[in-house]
Structure 1
Amino acid sequence: PAERELAQSLGVARPTLREALHRLAAQGWITIQQGRPTRVNDYWTSGTSHMLAALAEHPERLPAPLVGWLLEARRALAPAYARAAVRAAPEQVVARLARAAELPPEAHAFARFDWELHRTLARLSGNPVYTWILNGYEALYQRLAPRYFQQPEGRAFSRRFYRRLLDAAMARDPGRAERVTRSAMAASLRLWQRLEGGAGNRGRPGD
């Protein structure tokens, strides 16, 4: 519908509607075309990091393999920022990881710790792009990660990873930190796919 008709049907002023439409366009949901109808985008190909936060607000619409996709993304990024963090600030990495010994066997506690660990590593890496990327899916991670950590095997696996990364940081060995993290992220993805019956490989856009 025309802007005037849409504003009337929604009961809002046209400037308010226009602002909302431009916000949706900036987030990749729609394309505004001067003199032509506004087009609703395919968010799988046109979406931005804002899409992740929006998905977190509507858990009933989350695609089943989304956790697997997030783990794949982390597998690609985490080894690099873990290496850089241990090289730049091993003492701070050690301080963060030392807190893992106090973690209770509770899914939300693990999810919070794991998120803060990765944010700390990204920040200490010295490359703010890593932090920006992680910030883009914080809300979604906090909603979905407890599903992984509800599994005793997931919590046990993460404890082993934290210990091994702590050893690498205490040894001030960036290469070892990278290897430990790469191995752990790949194994974490495999574990999730097994727990979900392989769901991490189904439903991907374009398959």
Structure 2
Amino acid sequence: MNERSTDLIERKLLESILEGELQPEESLLSERELAIHFQVGRPTIREVLQRLERDGWISLRKGMPPVVNDYWQSGNLMTIVRMIQMYENIPIHFFQHMLELRISITPAYTKDAASNHPVKVISLFSNIDELEDDPKSFAEYDWGLQLSLARLSPNPVYLLLLNSFHDVYPKMAEIYFSDKIHRMISRKYYADLLHSLLQNDLTVVERITREMMKTSLDLWRKNKG
């Protein structure tokens, strides 16, 4: 089996789903018709369809063509990974959903990290005064900060989730930090967070982190609205 062919066909079908050419509950061509369309053998198509079903994109039906799923309802962690790998095709509202998710999880893993490894968390801000005032520097610093905080949390699932966004988070962050006001707000947040860490006030750590995540979402909505 030509593995490269399976990758190309899978990507083409995913593009059609993400771009709305294939809608939920719409039937795909049959396995035989897909093989003819893509000029490959049926085993190649079968492998592609099995991958798509595994990741929640479609449902296979015995004796009938596969049907497209609503991936927001039937997807899983691998669905997120594949969406991120296809960055240029991700629906714009996906980014908003990501920012909404941060409101829930970022305060939690930040507080956990500060509670379990206060000195190590404080050390993450040791070079904050040297942070260059440009989008790329802020994006790299913020991504590194989030990864480190999640890594210092005793719950390993947080880091698994963040690792899933490895390819897209820095790109999103660089777009976000292209606005100087956003950089100013984040710099103040880093300073306030460090102050609360030095005071060992975990309640404030959690509160200001949640407030910053909400602010980031509001700013993103404003810019994309």
TM range (shorter): 0.7 to 0.9
Among residues 124, 134, 142, which one is paired with 1:106 in the alignment? 134
Judged with a 3 Å threshold, the aligned counterparts in structure 2 of structure 1 residues 23 and 84 are, in CA distance, closer, same or farther, namely: same
Q: Tell me how far apart the structure 2 counterparts of residues 84 and 183 of structure 1 sit (CA, whole Å).
A: 17
Kindly indicate whether residue 64 of structure 2 is the aligned counterpart of residue 32 of structure 1.
no
Range moving further from structure 2, 176-185 or 134-143: 134-143
Match of 1:154 in 2: 182
- C-alpha distance after superposition, 1:14-57 (max 9, x if no partner): 33322221111121111112232211112232233333343345
Range moving further from structure 2, 132-141 or 73-82: 132-141
Kindly indicate whether residue 54 of structure 2 is the aligned counterpart of residue 55 of structure 1.
no
TM-score by length of 2: 0.77
Q: Tell me how far apart the structure 2 counterparts of residues 21 and 63 of structure 1 sit (CA, whole Å).
A: 22
Q: CA RMSD in A?
A: 2.1
Range moving further from structure 2, 113-122 or 134-143: 134-143
Question: Relative contact order (alpha carbons < 8 A, sep ≥ 6): 1 or 2 greater?
Answer: 1
- C-alpha distance after superposition, 1:64-109 (max 9, x if no partner): 4443322111011111111100001112111222233222122122
Match of 1:202 in 2: none
Cα shift at 1:2: 3.4
Match of 1:10 in 2: 38
Q: Tell me how far apart the structure 1 counterparts of residues 38 and 96 of structure 2 sit (CA, whole Å).
A: 38
Mark the runs of 5 or more structure 2 residues left unpaired by the alignment: 1-28
Number of residues paired by the alignment? 197
Q: Tell me how far apart the structure 2 counterparts of residues 77 and 120 of structure 1 sit (CA, whole Å).
A: 14
Cα shift at 1:140: 2.5
- Identity rate, percent: 38
Cα shift at 1:58: 4.4
Q: Answer whether contact 2:30 2:66 (CA < 8 A) is retained.
A: no
Mark the runs of 5 or more structure 1 residues left unpaired by the alignment: 200-207
TM-score by length of 1: 0.83
